[in-house]
Protein backbone atom coordinates (compact mmCIF):
# COMPACT_ATOMS: atom_id res chain seq x y z
CA UNK A 1 0.00 0.00 0.00
CA UNK A 2 1.18 3.53 -0.75
CA UNK A 3 2.55 5.23 2.38
CA UNK A 4 1.02 8.45 3.72
CA UNK A 5 4.51 9.96 3.98
CA UNK A 6 5.11 9.36 0.28
CA UNK A 7 1.70 10.75 -0.61
CA UNK A 8 2.24 13.83 1.57
CA UNK A 9 5.64 14.45 0.01
CA UNK A 10 4.31 14.33 -3.55
CA UNK A 11 1.33 16.52 -2.62
CA UNK A 12 3.63 19.14 -1.07
CA UNK A 13 6.06 19.07 -4.00
CA UNK A 14 3.25 19.58 -6.55
CA UNK A 15 1.13 21.99 -4.45
CA UNK A 16 -1.73 19.52 -4.78
CA UNK A 17 -5.14 20.75 -3.67
CA UNK A 18 -7.88 18.21 -3.16
CA UNK A 19 -8.74 14.82 -1.68
CA UNK A 20 -7.31 11.34 -2.19
CA UNK A 21 -9.19 8.23 -1.03
CA UNK A 22 -9.03 4.47 -1.40
CA UNK A 23 -12.06 2.37 -0.46
CA UNK A 24 -12.07 -1.42 -0.29
CA UNK A 25 -15.52 -2.98 -0.07
CA UNK A 26 -17.16 -1.03 2.77
CA UNK A 27 -13.94 0.19 4.36
CA UNK A 28 -11.92 3.34 3.67
CA UNK A 29 -8.28 2.36 3.84
CA UNK A 30 -6.72 5.66 2.77
CA UNK A 31 -7.94 9.24 3.11
CA UNK A 32 -5.95 12.45 2.77
CA UNK A 33 -6.99 16.03 1.98
CA UNK A 34 -4.83 19.01 1.05
CA UNK A 35 -5.26 22.70 0.32
CA UNK A 36 -8.35 24.85 0.50
CA UNK A 37 -11.86 24.62 -0.91
CA UNK A 38 -11.99 28.42 -0.56
CA UNK A 39 -8.56 30.01 -0.36
CA UNK A 40 -9.58 33.53 0.56
CA UNK A 41 -11.63 32.28 3.51
CA UNK A 42 -9.10 29.52 4.36
CA UNK A 43 -11.75 26.78 4.21
CA UNK A 44 -9.85 23.47 4.06
CA UNK A 45 -10.62 20.65 1.68
CA UNK A 46 -11.94 17.52 3.41
CA UNK A 47 -13.17 14.13 2.28
CA UNK A 48 -16.71 15.56 2.44
CA UNK A 49 -15.93 18.46 0.09
CA UNK A 50 -17.74 18.39 -3.23
CA UNK A 51 -15.47 18.81 -6.26
CA UNK A 52 -16.19 19.32 -9.94
CA UNK A 53 -15.67 16.20 -12.07
CA UNK A 54 -14.84 17.83 -15.43
CA UNK A 55 -15.23 15.17 -18.14
CA UNK A 56 -15.65 12.47 -15.50
CA UNK A 57 -19.40 12.95 -15.59
CA UNK A 58 -19.52 11.94 -19.26
CA UNK A 59 -20.15 8.53 -17.71
CA UNK A 60 -23.43 9.86 -16.29
CA UNK A 61 -24.44 11.05 -19.75
CA UNK A 62 -23.66 7.66 -21.26
CA UNK A 63 -25.65 5.88 -18.55
CA UNK A 64 -28.64 8.17 -19.06
CA UNK A 65 -28.53 7.36 -22.79
CA UNK A 66 -28.28 3.62 -22.09
CA UNK A 67 -31.29 3.87 -19.79
CA UNK A 68 -33.22 5.18 -22.78
CA UNK A 69 -31.87 2.28 -24.86
CA UNK A 70 -33.09 -0.19 -22.24
CA UNK A 71 -36.48 1.54 -22.21
CA UNK A 72 -36.67 1.27 -26.00
CA UNK A 73 -36.79 5.03 -26.55
CA UNK A 74 -33.42 5.02 -28.31
CA UNK A 75 -31.29 2.51 -30.20
CA UNK A 76 -27.51 2.61 -30.45
CA UNK A 77 -27.78 2.48 -34.24
CA UNK A 78 -30.20 5.42 -34.46
CA UNK A 79 -28.80 8.18 -36.69
CA UNK A 80 -28.40 11.29 -34.58
CA UNK A 81 -29.84 13.30 -37.49
CA UNK A 82 -33.23 11.85 -36.55
CA UNK A 83 -33.12 13.98 -33.39
CA UNK A 84 -31.10 16.97 -34.60
CA UNK A 85 -33.34 17.51 -37.64
CA UNK A 86 -32.00 20.68 -39.34
CA UNK A 87 -29.66 21.65 -36.48
CA UNK A 88 -25.88 21.19 -36.80
CA UNK A 89 -25.89 20.33 -40.52
CA UNK A 90 -22.13 19.67 -40.64
CA UNK A 91 -22.52 16.54 -38.50
CA UNK A 92 -22.42 13.65 -40.96
CA UNK A 93 -25.80 12.00 -41.55
CA UNK A 94 -24.16 8.64 -40.89
CA UNK A 95 -23.29 9.48 -37.27
CA UNK A 96 -25.17 7.26 -34.82
CA UNK A 97 -25.80 7.39 -31.08
CA UNK A 98 -23.15 4.69 -30.68
CA UNK A 99 -20.56 6.74 -32.59
CA UNK A 100 -21.10 9.64 -30.19
CA UNK A 101 -20.88 7.40 -27.11
CA UNK A 102 -17.61 5.83 -28.27
CA UNK A 103 -15.92 9.03 -29.57
CA UNK A 104 -15.85 7.66 -33.11
CA UNK A 105 -18.28 10.11 -34.75
CA UNK A 106 -15.59 12.23 -36.40
CA UNK A 107 -17.64 15.39 -35.79
CA UNK A 108 -15.83 18.67 -35.17
CA UNK A 109 -15.37 19.66 -31.54
CA UNK A 110 -16.11 23.03 -29.94
CA UNK A 111 -13.33 22.35 -27.42
CA UNK A 112 -10.74 20.42 -29.37
CA UNK A 113 -8.27 18.87 -26.95
CA UNK A 114 -5.99 17.87 -29.81
CA UNK A 115 -5.20 21.54 -30.35
CA UNK A 116 -2.62 23.47 -28.35
CA UNK A 117 -4.86 24.96 -25.68
CA UNK A 118 -4.29 26.18 -22.16
CA UNK A 119 -7.08 25.40 -19.68
CA UNK A 120 -6.60 28.88 -18.23
CA UNK A 121 -7.55 30.46 -21.57
CA UNK A 122 -11.06 31.78 -22.15
CA UNK A 123 -11.99 29.17 -24.74
CA UNK A 124 -15.77 29.57 -25.00
CA UNK A 125 -17.16 31.79 -27.73
CA UNK A 126 -20.38 32.76 -25.91
CA UNK A 127 -20.94 34.17 -22.41
CA UNK A 128 -20.59 31.27 -19.97
CA UNK A 129 -23.74 32.22 -18.05
CA UNK A 130 -25.87 31.41 -21.11
CA UNK A 131 -24.80 27.74 -21.14
CA UNK A 132 -27.38 26.16 -18.87
CA UNK A 133 -29.26 23.63 -21.02
CA UNK A 134 -27.95 21.31 -23.71
CA UNK A 135 -29.93 23.23 -26.32
CA UNK A 136 -28.09 26.42 -25.34
CA UNK A 137 -24.86 24.90 -26.73
CA UNK A 138 -26.18 24.79 -30.30
CA UNK A 139 -24.52 28.11 -31.34
CA UNK A 140 -21.03 26.92 -30.31
CA UNK A 141 -21.50 23.43 -31.79
CA UNK A 142 -22.53 24.80 -35.18
CA UNK A 143 -20.21 25.33 -38.15
CA UNK A 144 -17.53 22.80 -37.17
CA UNK A 145 -16.37 20.60 -40.08
CA UNK A 146 -16.00 16.85 -39.58
CA UNK A 147 -12.55 15.39 -38.92
CA UNK A 148 -13.17 11.97 -40.45
CA UNK A 149 -15.84 9.51 -41.53
CA UNK A 150 -18.08 8.08 -38.79
CA UNK A 151 -16.52 5.00 -37.22
CA UNK A 152 -13.10 5.47 -38.82
CA UNK A 153 -11.19 5.91 -35.57
CA UNK A 154 -11.31 7.13 -31.96
CA UNK A 155 -11.24 10.92 -31.69
CA UNK A 156 -12.11 12.27 -28.26
CA UNK A 157 -14.97 14.73 -28.67
CA UNK A 158 -16.54 16.90 -25.99
CA UNK A 159 -19.14 18.20 -28.43
CA UNK A 160 -20.36 14.69 -29.16
CA UNK A 161 -21.44 14.29 -25.55
CA UNK A 162 -23.24 17.64 -25.62
CA UNK A 163 -25.10 16.36 -28.70
CA UNK A 164 -26.07 13.29 -26.66
CA UNK A 165 -27.44 15.66 -24.00
CA UNK A 166 -29.45 17.46 -26.69
CA UNK A 167 -30.86 14.09 -27.75
CA UNK A 168 -31.84 13.36 -24.15
CA UNK A 169 -33.60 16.72 -23.83
CA UNK A 170 -35.53 16.19 -27.07
CA UNK A 171 -36.48 12.58 -26.31
CA UNK A 172 -37.57 13.17 -22.71
CA UNK A 173 -38.85 16.75 -22.87
CA UNK A 174 -36.81 17.52 -19.72
CA UNK A 175 -33.65 19.51 -19.09
CA UNK A 176 -30.50 17.40 -19.30
CA UNK A 177 -29.47 17.80 -15.67
CA UNK A 178 -32.94 16.75 -14.48
CA UNK A 179 -32.76 13.65 -16.68
CA UNK A 180 -29.40 12.57 -15.22
CA UNK A 181 -30.60 13.26 -11.70
CA UNK A 182 -33.65 11.04 -12.19
CA UNK A 183 -31.99 8.32 -14.27
CA UNK A 184 -28.52 8.03 -12.72
CA UNK A 185 -27.86 10.06 -9.58
CA UNK A 186 -30.93 9.10 -7.57
CA UNK A 187 -31.01 5.40 -8.56
CA UNK A 188 -27.36 5.17 -7.48
CA UNK A 189 -28.10 6.81 -4.13
CA UNK A 190 -25.66 9.69 -4.63
CA UNK A 191 -26.74 12.25 -2.03
CA UNK A 192 -23.85 14.66 -2.60
CA UNK A 193 -23.71 14.64 -6.41
CA UNK A 194 -25.37 17.36 -8.51
CA UNK A 195 -24.95 19.73 -11.44
CA UNK A 196 -24.25 22.83 -9.35
CA UNK A 197 -24.09 26.34 -10.77
CA UNK A 198 -20.61 27.80 -10.53
CA UNK A 199 -22.03 31.24 -9.66
CA UNK A 200 -23.92 29.98 -6.59
CA UNK A 201 -21.88 27.15 -5.13
CA UNK A 202 -22.95 25.88 -1.69
CA UNK A 203 -20.58 26.01 1.25
CA UNK A 204 -19.42 22.40 0.90
CA UNK A 205 -18.32 22.78 -2.75
CA UNK A 206 -14.75 23.68 -3.69
CA UNK A 207 -13.97 26.63 -5.91
CA UNK A 208 -11.78 25.69 -8.87
CA UNK A 209 -8.45 27.54 -9.02
CA UNK A 210 -6.44 28.23 -12.16
CA UNK A 211 -3.03 28.38 -10.48
CA UNK A 212 -1.25 26.79 -7.50
CA UNK A 213 -1.33 30.16 -5.72
CA UNK A 214 -3.74 33.06 -5.74
CA UNK A 215 -7.51 33.38 -5.62
CA UNK A 216 -8.40 33.48 -9.32
CA UNK A 217 -11.10 30.89 -9.94
CA UNK A 218 -12.45 29.21 -13.07
CA UNK A 219 -15.92 30.80 -12.89
CA UNK A 220 -15.44 32.68 -16.19
CA UNK A 221 -13.81 29.75 -18.02
CA UNK A 222 -16.45 27.01 -17.94
CA UNK A 223 -20.20 26.75 -18.58
CA UNK A 224 -22.15 28.03 -15.59
CA UNK A 225 -23.65 24.57 -15.18
CA UNK A 226 -22.26 21.22 -16.19
CA UNK A 227 -23.76 19.49 -19.19
CA UNK A 228 -23.40 16.37 -21.34
CA UNK A 229 -19.63 16.60 -21.66
CA UNK A 230 -18.97 17.03 -17.94
CA UNK A 231 -19.17 19.40 -15.01
CA UNK A 232 -21.13 17.59 -12.31
CA UNK A 233 -19.95 17.96 -8.71
CA UNK A 234 -19.40 15.01 -6.40
CA UNK A 235 -17.58 13.87 -3.27
CA UNK A 236 -15.32 10.91 -2.52
CA UNK A 237 -17.93 8.79 -0.70
CA UNK A 238 -20.41 9.22 -3.54
CA UNK A 239 -17.91 7.88 -6.05
CA UNK A 240 -17.42 4.61 -4.20
CA UNK A 241 -21.20 4.42 -3.76
CA UNK A 242 -21.61 5.04 -7.50
CA UNK A 243 -19.29 2.21 -8.47
CA UNK A 244 -20.95 -0.18 -6.03
CA UNK A 245 -24.44 0.74 -7.26
CA UNK A 246 -23.37 0.53 -10.90
CA UNK A 247 -22.01 -2.99 -10.55
CA UNK A 248 -25.00 -4.05 -8.46
CA UNK A 249 -27.33 -3.24 -11.37
CA UNK A 250 -28.99 -0.21 -9.78
CA UNK A 251 -28.54 1.98 -12.88
CA UNK A 252 -28.43 -0.37 -15.87
CA UNK A 253 -28.71 -4.17 -16.15
CA UNK A 254 -25.50 -6.17 -15.87
CA UNK A 255 -25.48 -7.13 -19.56
CA UNK A 256 -25.70 -3.46 -20.53
CA UNK A 257 -22.81 -2.59 -18.20
CA UNK A 258 -20.79 -5.43 -19.70
CA UNK A 259 -21.36 -3.90 -23.14
CA UNK A 260 -20.40 -0.44 -21.86
CA UNK A 261 -17.14 -1.71 -20.39
CA UNK A 262 -16.16 -3.80 -23.39
CA UNK A 263 -13.02 -2.27 -24.93
CA UNK A 264 -13.85 -0.49 -28.20
CA UNK A 265 -10.67 1.52 -28.74
CA UNK A 266 -7.08 1.54 -27.58
CA UNK A 267 -5.97 5.06 -26.66
CA UNK A 268 -2.16 4.92 -26.33
CA UNK A 269 -1.83 8.64 -25.58
CA UNK A 270 -3.83 8.10 -22.39
CA UNK A 271 -2.42 4.62 -21.65
CA UNK A 272 -6.04 3.48 -21.45
CA UNK A 273 -8.77 1.86 -23.51
CA UNK A 274 -12.29 3.16 -24.07
CA UNK A 275 -15.70 1.52 -24.00
CA UNK A 276 -19.00 3.39 -23.85
CA UNK A 277 -18.73 6.37 -21.53
CA UNK A 278 -15.93 4.80 -19.50
CA UNK A 279 -12.17 4.59 -19.76
CA UNK A 280 -10.73 1.13 -19.15
CA UNK A 281 -7.43 0.09 -17.60
CA UNK A 282 -5.02 -1.12 -20.32
CA UNK A 283 -4.55 -4.52 -18.64
CA UNK A 284 -6.67 -4.97 -15.53
CA UNK A 285 -10.50 -5.18 -15.51
CA UNK A 286 -10.55 -1.84 -13.69
CA UNK A 287 -12.92 0.87 -14.96
CA UNK A 288 -11.97 4.56 -14.93
CA UNK A 289 -13.72 7.93 -14.86
CA UNK A 290 -11.52 10.96 -15.38
CA UNK A 291 -11.42 14.59 -16.37
CA UNK A 292 -9.26 17.70 -16.55
CA UNK A 293 -10.23 21.30 -17.11
CA UNK A 294 -9.62 24.83 -15.87
CA UNK A 295 -9.50 24.51 -12.09
CA UNK A 296 -10.46 20.83 -12.10
CA UNK A 297 -8.68 17.47 -12.16
CA UNK A 298 -10.36 14.16 -11.41
CA UNK A 299 -9.71 10.43 -11.58
CA UNK A 300 -11.64 7.53 -10.04
CA UNK A 301 -10.60 3.94 -10.74
CA UNK A 302 -12.67 0.95 -9.64
CA UNK A 303 -11.83 -2.74 -9.60
CA UNK A 304 -15.17 -4.60 -9.56
CA UNK A 305 -13.67 -7.94 -8.58
CA UNK A 306 -12.35 -6.61 -5.26
CA UNK A 307 -14.79 -3.68 -4.87
CA UNK A 308 -11.86 -1.28 -4.61
CA UNK A 309 -12.04 2.41 -5.56
CA UNK A 310 -9.08 4.80 -5.78
CA UNK A 311 -10.08 8.43 -6.27
CA UNK A 312 -8.28 11.76 -6.75
CA UNK A 313 -10.41 14.92 -6.67
CA UNK A 314 -8.68 18.27 -7.19
CA UNK A 315 -9.82 21.90 -7.34
CA UNK A 316 -6.72 23.19 -9.12
CA UNK A 317 -5.78 22.90 -12.78
CA UNK A 318 -2.35 21.44 -12.10
CA UNK A 319 -0.75 19.32 -9.39
CA UNK A 320 -2.85 16.16 -9.48
CA UNK A 321 -0.99 14.29 -12.21
CA UNK A 322 1.76 13.04 -9.92
CA UNK A 323 -0.82 11.91 -7.36
CA UNK A 324 -2.73 9.97 -10.02
CA UNK A 325 0.52 8.39 -11.23
CA UNK A 326 1.49 7.45 -7.68
CA UNK A 327 -1.84 5.71 -7.12
CA UNK A 328 -1.73 4.10 -10.55
CA UNK A 329 1.77 2.74 -9.98
CA UNK A 330 0.62 1.38 -6.61
CA UNK A 331 -2.66 0.00 -7.97
CA UNK A 332 -1.73 -3.67 -7.66
CA UNK A 333 -0.48 -3.05 -4.11
CA UNK A 334 -3.73 -1.27 -3.21
CA UNK A 335 -5.91 -4.13 -4.41
CA UNK A 336 -6.60 -6.86 -1.85
CA UNK A 337 -5.82 -10.42 -2.92
CA UNK A 338 -8.46 -11.95 -5.18
CA UNK A 339 -10.07 -15.05 -3.73
3-state secondary structure (DSSP) of residue 269: helix
pLDDT in the model for residue 338:
44
Per-residue pLDDT of the chain (339 residues; tens, 9 = 90+): 678 899 999 999 999 999 999 999 989 999 999 999 999 999 999 999 999 999 999 999 999 999 999 999 999 999 999 999 999 999 999 999 999 999 999 999 998 766 666 777 777 889 999 999 999 999 999 999 999 999 999 999 999 999 999 999 999 999 999 999 999 999 999 999 999 999 999 999 999 999 999 999 999 999 999 999 999 999 999 999 999 999 999 999 999 999 999 999 999 999 999 999 999 999 889 999 999 999 999 999 999 999 999 999 999 999 999 999 888 777 545 554 444
Q: Is 5 exposed, middle or buried (0-12, 13-18, 19+ CB in 10 A)?
A: exposed
pLDDT in the model for residue 331:
58
Domain ranges of the chain: 4-334
* 43-44 and 308-314 strand pairing: unpaired
pTM over 0.85: yes
Closest CA to 14 of 328, 315, 323: 323
CATH class of 4-334: alpha beta
3-state secondary structure (DSSP) of residue 79: strand
Radius of gyration for the chain, computed over Cα atoms and rounded to the nearest angstrom: 19
CA 155 to chain CA centroid, nearest Å: 16
φ and ψ of 240, to 5 deg: -65, -40
Compute the distance between CA of residue 38 and CA of residue 315 in angstroms, rounded to an integer.
10
Amino acid sequence: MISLAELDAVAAERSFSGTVTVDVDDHRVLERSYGFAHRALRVPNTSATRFAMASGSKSFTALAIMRQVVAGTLRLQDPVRRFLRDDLPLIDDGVTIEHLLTHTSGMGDYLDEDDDWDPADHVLSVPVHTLETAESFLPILDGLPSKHEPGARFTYCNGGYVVLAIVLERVTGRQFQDVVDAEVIRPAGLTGTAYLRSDELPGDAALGYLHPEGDRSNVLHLPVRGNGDGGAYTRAADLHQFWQALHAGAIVPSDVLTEMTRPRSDVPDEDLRYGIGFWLHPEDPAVVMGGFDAGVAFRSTHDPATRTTATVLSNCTFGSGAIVTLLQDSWLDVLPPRS
